[in-house]
Amino acid sequence: MSVRVKLLICTIFLVLFVLPAQAGQRVGLALVANCSGFASFGGSIILDRDNTGAGREAFSVSAWDGDGTLLYQGPTESFLVGGAVDFPTGYKIGYTTAPSSNPIIVTVTSAEGNGLRAQTIYSAAGRCVGLPTVDQPVISGVTTASLPINTVPPLSNNSADELRGEAGILIANTAFLNLRSGDGAEYTIVGRVAGGATLIPLGHNANFSWWYVQAGDVVGWALAELVIPRGDFTGVPLVEAVGVIGLPRFFLFSDQNLLTLPDKFSAPVCGLVGNLEYEVTGKNSAGTFLFITATCKDGGGAEGWIPADFGGLRNPGNLALPVK
């Protein structure tokens, strides 16, 4: 990937949203924008349409302010269809024209060509403190990627430089505050902050029960009951959550065997470690056994049955469990 493509990924503080993408596919891509430019928090796009007639997909990156002024126009790049273009964390690019209004929109666009129309792969909206805001439709809040099962989130926080100039801030008012991919406890965890950590408000949901926030390099949703607001929140926009509902999980109380059948006397598949969670994909008709996906003690992956009374089922999204 050229330096120019890497530059398409730049700086702090934003409200993210994804438009329907029928061109390249976004994989965890998160761009953030501020007054001087935009940056990447990582991710990639998978190129999946030939808009060049040569087995390649051409795309470019641009930035606009709320008045429609073009702030940056990147070169058109192309890569083989089926390949991935990575956006490394920390790559930044500055605007060639200073913004005069909010929001600031950064867009990755698959080019027109080979009989195909131009299509948006990804778009992110940020703001610049002190600039007027032009009315915009409700945007969608894309967050940092969800954490894998049984992962302890690293603690995130904002630096003094990231907080400078913020009209309003949010302070975590609990020992540890989980940041989620959506505005509800049913959504997956994307990060965590310690008590007293200061969060940048990027948006809020319709009833102000959750805040869409930034903590260092993590963007997620924080429960309003667990933060203390300080300052002016005028202009903080309404954001629609587009998070991931957490799959049902089974917390295993102690080391046990994974079984081949829903029967305590059936042959074991492998041994499981207790005090961990395992994803649940089904149950027997009586609900006395759960079918789970697990990593065995020996490190291999497996599926099998576990008695329901060997642990606790966690299903915050109230998802239906199929009978197997």
β-bridge pairing 210-215 and 198-204: antiparallel
Instruction: Kindly report which listed range (90-104, 181-195, 301-315) carries the lowest average pLDDT score.
Output: 90-104
The amino acid that residue 100 corresponds to is S
Q: Which three-class secondary structure state does DSSP give residue 308?
A: helix
* CA 165 – CA 138 distance, rounded (Å): 24
pTM of the model: 0.57
The string of pLDDT tens digits covering residues 107-139 is 888 888 998 777 777 777 777 888 887 765 566
Q: What is the pLDDT of residue 136?
A: 57
Q: How far apart are CA 221 and CA 110, in angstroms?
A: 30
Distance (Å, whole) CA 167 – CA 230 = 9
Q: How confident is the model at residue 293 (pLDDT cuts 50, 70, 90)?
A: very high
**What is the pLDDT, as a whole number, of residue 3?**
25
Burial of residue 286, with CB atoms counted within 10 A of its CB: 0-12 exposed, 13-18 middle, 19 or more buried = exposed
- 122's tokens: 């990804």
Does residue 5 have a pLDDT over 80? no
Kindly state the tokens that stand for 45. Answer: 């796009």
CATH of domain 160-237: 2.30.30.40
Question: Would you list the domain boundaries of the chain?
Answer: 3-136, 160-237, 249-314
> Within 13 Å and on the Cβ side, how many CA atoms surround 221?
27
Is the pLDDT reported for residue 71 higher than 90?
A: yes
Confidence band of 262 (pLDDT split at 50, 70, 90): very high
Range 171-178 average pLDDT: 96
pLDDT, average across residues 4-12: 27
Average pLDDT over residues 141-163: 88
Exposed / middle / buried, residue 253 (Cβ in 10 Å: 0-12, 13-18, 19+): exposed
Are domains 3-136 and 249-314 of this chain identical in fold?
no
* Fold assignment, 3-136: Immunoglobulin-like (2.60.40)
pLDDT at residue 214 tops 60: yes
Q: Give pLDDT tens digits for 19-66.
A: 233 456 667 777 888 899 998 888 888 888 899 999 999 999 999 888
Partners of residue 204 on adjacent β-strands: 211, 238
Q: What are the tokens at 26?
A: 């976004």
Give the mean pLDDT of the chain. Answer: 85
Q: How far apart (Å, rounded) are the C-alpha atoms in residues 304 and 279?
A: 11
State the architecture of 249-314 in CATH terms: Roll (2.30)
